[in-house]
A and B are shown apart, each in its own frame.
Chain A
Amino acid sequence: MAVRFVIAAQEMDITPLKQALHLAEAGGYCSFEGWVRNHNHGRVVQALEYQVYEALARKEGTAILEDAMARFEISAAAAMHRSGMLDIGDMAVWIGVSAPHREAAFQACRFIIDAIKERLPVWKKEHYIGGEAQWVACHHHG
C-alpha cells in the first residue's frame, strides 16, 4: 500500500511505518517529527492533550497522503498523529515520504505537515503549571 495514515492513542514505534516506505525504486526518504514543546505564547506548558474526531481524521489523513502522491513524484507516504495526553518532548506527529529523488520527498513532507495542520479534525489543549488548561484558539499560532 502506497499510503498509510494512523491515529495512535499511545506512544507508537514508527519503525514499521518507515520500513514500508523503503522500496526498491526509492532513492531516499524524508521525515518530519512534531514534538510537544514546553512553552507557547510566553506561557509554560506542562502537557498537551489532543482530541481527535477519529473516523473523519483517518479519512482526511489518508486523503492528504493521496493528495501528496498525486501532486509529487514520490514512491510512498505515511503519517501518524497522536491522540490523548502527551508530555513535553513526546512525538505528536510523524510523517515519512520516500521518493526516487530527494526534492519531491522534501516537498511532499512539507505539504503533508501543512495540510495536517490545516485540514485534520484534531484539537490541541494546552495544560499549564497550576492546573489551568485551554484549547488552542488557532492553528496558525499552534
Chain B
Amino acid sequence: MRITLEYFAQLRDLAGCTREERDIDAISLGTLYEQVRRDYQFPLERDQLRVAVNDAFASWDEAPHEGDMVVFIPPVTGG
C-alpha cells in the first residue's frame, strides 16, 4: 500500500525531506517506524515517540491503510 510520511524537527533533518510517499508492507505503525528508523538512522526509540495518522494521535499497534498520512512525533519542546 502507498502512504505519505511527514517529518518534523530532528527527524526532518535526518530524513532530509519534509514529506515523502512510500510503498509499505508494514502490518503496524510500530513496524513501519522500525523500517523508517533503519533507513534514516533515527536515534530515537519507539517508546520515546508518539505517532499520528491523518492528523490524529494513533497507537503503535494500529495497522496503516492506503492513503494514510503518518507522522512520527519526537519529544515535544513547545511553550
Q: Hey, which bits of chain A sit against chain B, CB under 8 A?
A: 34, 50-53, 55-56, 59, 81, 92-93, 113, 116-125, 135-139, 142
Give the total number of A-B pairs whose CB atoms are below 8 A apart.
71
The reply to whether B76 and A120 contact each other, CB–CB distance below 8 Å, is yes
The reply to whether B73 and A121 contact each other, CB–CB distance below 8 Å, is yes
Whether, in the assembled complex, B52 has its beta carbon less than 8 Å from a beta carbon of chain A, the answer is: yes
Bound CA span A16–B70, Å: 35
The reply to whether A81 and B55 contact each other, CB–CB distance below 8 Å, is no
The reply to whether B77 and A142 contact each other, CB–CB distance below 8 Å, is yes
Bound CA span A120–B10, Å: 16
By a CB distance below 8 angstroms, the chain A residues around B55 are 55-56, 59
By a CB distance below 8 angstroms, the chain A residues around B75 are 137-139
Given A56-B52, A59-B55, A123-B9 in contact, is the A117-B78 Cβ separation under 8 Å?
yes
The reply to whether A122 and B56 contact each other, CB–CB distance below 8 Å, is no
Bound CA span A140–B7, Å: 22
The reply to whether B78 and A93 contact each other, CB–CB distance below 8 Å, is yes
B52 to chain A minimum Cβ distance, whole angstroms, is 6
